[in-house]
Amino acid sequence: MVRRPVPTTVRVIRFFLRPLLMLVTRRDWQGMEHLPDGGFVLAPNHISHLDPFLISHFMLDNGIAPQFLAKDTLVGAKGYGWILRSAEQIPVYRDTEGAAESLRAAATAVEAGRVVTIYPEGTITRDPAAWPMSGRTGAVRVALMTGRPLVPLMQWGPQEILWPYAKRVRLFPRATIHIRVGAPIDLTDFADQEVTEQVLHDATDRLMNTLSAMMSEVRGEVPSTPRIDVHTLGKPKTNYK
């Protein structure tokens, strides 16, 4: 059963987009038994501009109305910004005083029984081999604020359709979208501690380590270079396809 009514905008997008996604992708979805009842934070790696559509496809097919924490520049944009707002996405004002208010809005939604998707990296990976980077602390903050589960979701395959920061879409041959939902991240050892920056970073490292391990299992390999620190990012690197 869907945890909350699906906004009309989302239903319209799904009506037109789902048949196309069914046509141009194969789906290898596993771990749905780890999706908790009630509200929780869903924390996926970020691998392509197509992520929101493919994750929403997965969520809707599993009875979850998608609600993302999205950059304020997207939600506030003309045209498609109205679509995001009417789809009830939550704007995040990153690196501003409004960031805390964004997380409170996300926490309120989770406490109300909704599922809020928060990309811990905060942006598409800049890793040349598309491995997860380090994470920002938003997803962990909301989970600790609410006491609700923090659920990792690993995806691999969207980059076959649209490589990070590339402009060329490749629909055929059909890409297989691998999605793995992991068991909720165990944060019990942090629950009774003061929520310091160190606690948040340690918990976020645990989340990112889990996502990397899940990806390693699907890809059959491990990263060959150190994890990129999201806090040191500049412009997208030029060695992307």
Question: Mean pLDDT of successive 10-residue segments in the chain (241 residues)?
Answer: 74 94 96 96 96 95 91 69 76 63 88 95 95 96 95 97 90 95 96 89 97 98 95 58 38
Q: At 95, is the secondary structure helix, strand, or coil?
A: coil
Q: Report residue 18 as tokens.
A: 């789902």
Rounded to whole angstroms, how far apart are CA atoms 207 and 151?
9
Distance, CA of 85 to chain centre: 18
What pLDDT sits at residue 100?
Answer: 66
In the chain, the amino acid numbered 71 is K
- Domains of the chain, by residue range, sit at 8-218
Please confirm whether the linkage preceding 173 is cis (ω < 30° from 0).
yes
Strand pairing class (175-181; 150-156): antiparallel
Residue 92: the pLDDT is 78
CA 47, CA 113: separation in Å to the nearest integer?
Answer: 27
Q: Looking at domain 8-218, which of 3.40.1130.10, 3.40.30.10, 1.20.210.10, 3.40.50.300 is its CATH number? A: 3.40.1130.10
pTM of the model: 0.90
pLDDT given for residue 94 in this prediction: 62
Q: Which pLDDT belongs to residue 7?
A: 85
Output the pLDDT for position 102.
Answer: 74
